Structure 1
Amino acid sequence: MRWDDGLRLCSLALLERPLRSLLSLLGVAIGISAVVVLTAIGEGLRGRVLEGFSQFGTRVITVRPGRMQTGGLGGLLAGTRPLSIADAEALRRLPHVQAVLPIIHGNGDIEAPERSRRVDIYGTGADLVRAWQVRMALGRFLPPANDGRSPPNVVLGHRLSQELFGAANPLGQRVRVGGMRFRVIGVLERKGNLLGFDLDDIAYIPVDWAEQLFNREGLVKAQVLFDESIQAPVFVEQVRELLVARHRQEDFTLTAQDTLLGSLNRMLAALTLGVATLGGISLLVGAVGILTVMTTAVSERTAEIGLLRSLGGSPGQVLGLFLGEAILLSLAGGLLGLALSAVLLGGLHLLAPGLPLALNPSLALIALVLAAVVGVLAGFTPARHAARLQPVEALRCE
């Protein structure tokens, strides 16, 4: 038997009972569409989260005061000395350092001549523009401190500037931030959200003024950017040695951005795989449907099998015919599932344009291969039963 004759026989067998075939392949279609859609959503969310964490660069070491220690009831944050602005300046003098960003953050009221509102306030330094890769829409960013003391200047996020001053130029205007008077010297370009955190709705003030404003004795954290001429583990050790020498103990926590991103990526990838696996459970419904259809087909076509065997058809050819029917049925379900996935993803994009979706083209090929595997697994047992039928016994069923 030629392969094209076998393909025609398989197709005709499925088309003879279109309703039953359609109902069977619907199970595969639903399973494939569930896997594709859930994977696209999972990959989109993973990409969005990683992009948010990495938009400020990956060659970053974050230093936080206090050292995480394990105890009987879990992790305890133990620290005896705060992380100071002087520590940040010492880190700036290390080799391979590109920028050091001391950070103190909180929230408070900002009052313009005619409007006021409560906002997030960041105390930071002049390196923020370089470290966070932001640009100025108006004016300039906070200048470096002079002899350890900064002038009372403030830089506004794009949205905050519009809400306080509208279309007017805010440069040179006096505002009160947490009750202290500052002069507006710059407005940042629109930056957008970072993981739900609006970077355009922030007031940026010098870190030494933020210490006084929030009544703190040290920094919340410091971010250190380093160049590509040194490996992250080596640079982490340099930072650790410097701070231990200054503090006389390791009472701080160091976190490398690339290590954090690697762990986050693995966690989100595992979550995406888990969600896709849950969607793939619906493929079991399709497999059961194909198994039922093929078992019924073997019982209904026993005489046809006997005739085929009596005309010289081998058991392998009979096995191939019924396996071919199962694979065609599952592949048709896979194609229908891909079409259904396209419709669902298009609908999600229209209904929720902010939902990140990442559809990998290779996923379509994987889905079709998965559908074929489902067909083989579901159709093998009925096909083997058909191949083992004896011609004489099968013809008696006519």
Structure 2
Amino acid sequence: MAILKNKMVFSHLVKTAAHGVARNKSRSFLTILGIVIGITSIMMVMSLGEGAQNLILGQIQSLGSKTIAILPGREPTGPASAAQMMSDSLKLKDVNLLKNKSNLPFAKAVEPIIVGGGTASLGNETYQVGIFGSSQFIQGIWDMTLDEGRFIDDYDVSNNLFSVVIGSRVKEELFGNENAIGQKIKLKGISFKVIGVLSKEGQGIINFDEAAVVPWTTAQQYVFGIKHFHRVIVEVNDESHINATVKDIEETLRNSHNISGDDKDDFYTVTQEGAKEQVETILNIFTLFLAAIAAISLVVGGV
């Protein structure tokens, strides 16, 4: 008897719901649509957040567990401190001090990097590129592979040569299917000889497909006309020496820049582990924030 009564109640509820939907077709349709969009939005936001986190962490992973990046200016803590990233506090004397084994006993390599942008051109063809001034060291750090030719070497750097390694997209835009090795292109109006073409990598935080890599000496003196560096990369001989080397870097640069006591540093260091923690925290908060907005949309749609 109880089962029959429950069936009758359920049947009545179904009929009532069907009658309500039929009587308010437009409202019912919009409600269902809102719920579907809300659920889809939540799923997409969570998926995109996870995808972005994996992409960024993958790029950080490529920095290497034995690598320390030194950046000029004070460590940014928000939009108001972003201008500090334009500081010119890292100079050649700092690089030479860091290369001194007595200052950084666990350092395997110390190399400066210059980062900027400009136009690459060949005849009437032009293309906006990211310009990296570095040495052969950057190839191993960022796992850059060559499709053709060779990479920047010590001879290019020490002799301020106008040699350039271009990304796959740059090659396609300027040369098409033609051979690029040995040809001349212009970077910011300055003539360079193409010595290598990078393999196609696809989009990333650093898109090397649209890059041009030149000797840092040439980039500093001729391309950008500056006397400072945008990055200095330190590779240690073992990851167990990362923390000790960070302290050595801080002591060396504070002495070099005459920073004492509680005065704030005009540089900061980034390690793989530290960067991973910061990125994970920021992206998790961002993903949850967007998911909350999507959830509110879902509730509103249900109402």
What is the TM-score when the length of structure 2 is the normalising length? Answer: 0.73
User: Is 1:262 aligned to residue 251 of structure 2?
Assistant: no
Quote how far apart the aligned CAs of 1:41 are. Answer: 3.4
- Following the alignment from structure 2 to structure 1, what is the Cα–Cα distance between the partners of residues 62 and 292? 30
User: Is 1:139 aligned to residue 154 of structure 2?
Assistant: no
266, 269, 289: which one aligns with 1:274: 289
* Unpaired stretches in structure 1, ≥5 consecutive residues: 289-398
Q: Deviations over 1:257-289 (max 9, x none)?
A: 43233122112112222222333346657998x
Distance 1:281 1:74, change over 3 A: closer
- Following the alignment from structure 2 to structure 1, what is the Cα–Cα distance between the partners of residues 86 and 298? 53
Q: Is the 8 A contact 2:246 2:269 kept in 1?
A: yes
User: Is 1:181 aligned to residue 196 of structure 2?
Assistant: no
- Following the alignment from structure 2 to structure 1, what is the Cα–Cα distance between the partners of residues 166 and 157? 25
Q: Is the 8 A contact 2:157 2:216 kept in 1?
A: no
Q: Is the 8 A contact 2:32 2:302 kept in 1?
A: no
Instruction: Please name the residue that 1:216 is paired with.
Output: 226
Q: Is the 8 A contact 2:63 2:272 kept in 1?
A: no
- Following the alignment from structure 2 to structure 1, what is the Cα–Cα distance between the partners of residues 248 and 139? 25
Instruction: Please name the residue that 2:166 is paired with.
Output: 156
User: Is 1:253 aligned to residue 249 of structure 2?
Assistant: no
- Following the alignment from structure 2 to structure 1, what is the Cα–Cα distance between the partners of residues 241 and 250? 14
Instruction: Please name the residue that 2:25 is paired with.
Output: none
- Opposite residue 13 of structure 2, the aligned amino acid is R
- Following the alignment from structure 2 to structure 1, what is the Cα–Cα distance between the partners of residues 237 and 246? 13
- Following the alignment from structure 1 to structure 2, what is the Cα–Cα distance between the partners of residues 176 and 33? 48
251, 257, 261: which one aligns with 1:241: 251
Q: Deviations over 1:138-166 (max 9, x none)?
A: 11110025794343211111111222222
Instruction: Please name the residue that 2:24 is paired with.
Output: none
- Following the alignment from structure 1 to structure 2, what is the Cα–Cα distance between the partners of residues 11 and 27? 30
23, 40, 51: which one aligns with 2:58: 51
Quote how far apart the aligned CAs of 1:206 are. Answer: 0.5
- Following the alignment from structure 1 to structure 2, what is the Cα–Cα distance between the partners of residues 111 and 44? 35
- Following the alignment from structure 1 to structure 2, what is the Cα–Cα distance between the partners of residues 79 and 244? 19
Instruction: Please name the residue that 1:200 is paired with.
Output: 209
- Following the alignment from structure 2 to structure 1, what is the Cα–Cα distance between the partners of residues 301 and 129? 54
Distance 1:275 1:162, change over 3 A: closer
How many equivalent pairs are there?
Answer: 281
Q: Deviations over 1:100-136 (max 9, x none)?
A: 4422122334343674444332211111110111101
Q: Is the 8 A contact 1:27 1:283 kept in 2?
A: no
- Following the alignment from structure 1 to structure 2, what is the Cα–Cα distance between the partners of residues 113 and 34? 47
- SS of corresponding position for 1:194: coil
Q: Deviations over 1:201-233 (max 9, x none)?
A: 221110011111211011122233445532543
- Following the alignment from structure 2 to structure 1, what is the Cα–Cα distance between the partners of residues 218 and 7? 78
- Opposite residue 276 of structure 2, the aligned amino acid is L
32, 40, 64: which one aligns with 2:71: 64
Percent identity for Structure 1 against Structure 2: 27
- Following the alignment from structure 1 to structure 2, what is the Cα–Cα distance between the partners of residues 186 and 144? 15
- Following the alignment from structure 2 to structure 1, what is the Cα–Cα distance between the partners of residues 216 and 139? 15
- Following the alignment from structure 1 to structure 2, what is the Cα–Cα distance between the partners of residues 285 and 58? 46
* Unpaired stretches in structure 2, ≥5 consecutive residues: 22-27, 260-264
Q: Deviations over 1:317-364 (max 9, x none)?
A: xxxxxxxxxxxxxxxxxxxxxxxxxxxxxxxxxxxxxxxxxxxxxxxx
Quote how far apart the aligned CAs of 1:175 are. Answer: 3.0
Q: Is the 8 A contact 1:96 1:230 kept in 2?
A: no
Instruction: Please name the residue that 1:88 is paired with.
Output: 95
- Following the alignment from structure 1 to structure 2, what is the Cα–Cα distance between the partners of residues 243 and 256? 17
What is the TM-score when the length of structure 1 is the normalising length? Answer: 0.58
Instruction: Please name the residue that 2:262 is paired with.
Output: none
- Following the alignment from structure 2 to structure 1, what is the Cα–Cα distance between the partners of residues 7 and 245? 65
- Following the alignment from structure 1 to structure 2, what is the Cα–Cα distance between the partners of residues 178 and 76? 25
User: Is 1:17 aligned to residue 13 of structure 2?
Assistant: yes
